[in-house]
Structure 1
Amino acid sequence: MNDPQLSWVEQDEQRSARWHSESGMPPPGRVQVADDTMNADTAYRLACEGTALLWRGDFQNARMLLQAMARRAVPKPKKAPRKGAPVVEVAPAQAFHLHRQYQSQRARTLGMLLIPFGDDFAIPLRRAPDV
């Protein structure tokens, strides 16, 4: 069986690892190493652009970054229509599809934060839980 490979550059050295995604997604084309110094705005922007973030910092900080990225993924509320403006009704089917599209984009963006697993299926990050 030929497992897909994830490749990235870390400290001027080309590295690769086996790729596994529970959702069956192929490995991302671009990977950037991220750590505790990366802020949520930068991480969210890179993830939206399709760059995966391979986390090398503290595990708990990765969780907080993921939560901050999730807050940025929430669509901004639309302004109330002006008085006298026509009210646009959205069909239930269209509202459902828009909601599913939002969920899909959110999952794809948040899924760009990658956590490494060792050969023994342990997470090699500080303060990481035992798996």
Structure 2
Amino acid sequence: MEDPIILVVEDSRYMREFLGNIIMGMGYEHLYFAEDGVQAIEKATLIKPDLITLDISIPIINGLEVVSKVLEISPKSKIIMISAMHDQGTIKQAIKKGASDFIHKPFRKETLEKVIMSHLKKDQYKVE
């Protein structure tokens, strides 16, 4: 089977690299990046990602709005929101809009790996 296509949407260069390194360290190679909501929607339209990590606080179009737009384009995408916003209203809103999961910043590497693995079923994709 093929590797999943993963899109990392994060405005912080450090966090993009951090997330990318964790995901590549898990053996996934089809990795794409976006810095803002417009880029996220454009890339999702082109690549139809299997999984997206998405920050809420991103420029131009915020992550909560991006969830709905991306799922219209790519309804099978699993979206993991990653944010420093910890209020229950924001979390509920993200899930209501279609996010598959929510991780609070700061987080442990193992937490991200576990959440990614839970959404990319082991029998669907090869991980070397």
* TM-score, structure 1 as length reference: 0.33
* TM-score, structure 2 as length reference: 0.34
Structure with the greater relative contact order (CA < 8 A, sep ≥ 6): 1 or 2?
2
Tell me which structure has the larger Cα radius of gyration. Answer: 1
